[in-house]
Amino acid sequence: MFFDTRDLKNEEIYLQLYKIADENIEKGYVPAYYFKIIRCKDDAKIGQCDLRIGHNDNTKYGGNIGYEVYRPFRGNRYASKACKLLFQLARKHEMNEIIITCAPENIASRKTCEYCGAELIGTIDVPIWHELYKNGQKKTCQYIVKL
């Protein structure tokens, strides 16, 4: 079940839903929402983010949240602000915690996790069956946010 997402906004950004995806048991995918991150003052599309609902082996390594801020808009903490909006949606789904992961060398993403209140649990090995491993990422930093 997917919820209305029109309330996912703050004074700087809002999240514009552009796609939802149902669970895909064969691929190990949980249901997900996909958003464009929009700046309020001028409606500029500044990035994108997604929220994956629930926990399984894939989210352990790939996380519940993904985000990207387009290059001209970086350095404004938009990703951490988007994550905080996604936390609201996760609470509607009665999730107790959110996992956010990133490559150990991705300093900007690690800072995003810290800015949104995530706690580093550790750096873990990515199993060979996971998409991240197949794309060359052998380790991932795992952060947890208690909701």
Mean pLDDT of 72-80: 97
Provide the domain count of the chain: 1
CATH classification of the domain holding 79: 3.40.630.30
Residue 1 confidence class, pLDDT cut points 50, 70, 90:
confident
pLDDT score recorded for residue 72: 97
Q: Which domain holds residue 39?
A: 13-146
Residue 24 scores a pLDDT above 90:
yes
Q: What is the DSSP string of 50-81?
A: EEE-S--HHHHHH-SEEEEE-GGGTTS-HHHH
In a domain, 8, yes or no: no
Say whether pTM exceeds 0.85: yes
Residue 135 lies in a domain: yes
Taking the alpha carbons at both ends of the chain, their separation in whole angstroms is: 20
Give mean pLDDT, residues 111-126: 97
- H or E element: which one contains 16? strand 13-21
Q: What is the share, in percent, of the chain residues with pLDDT greater than 70?
A: 100
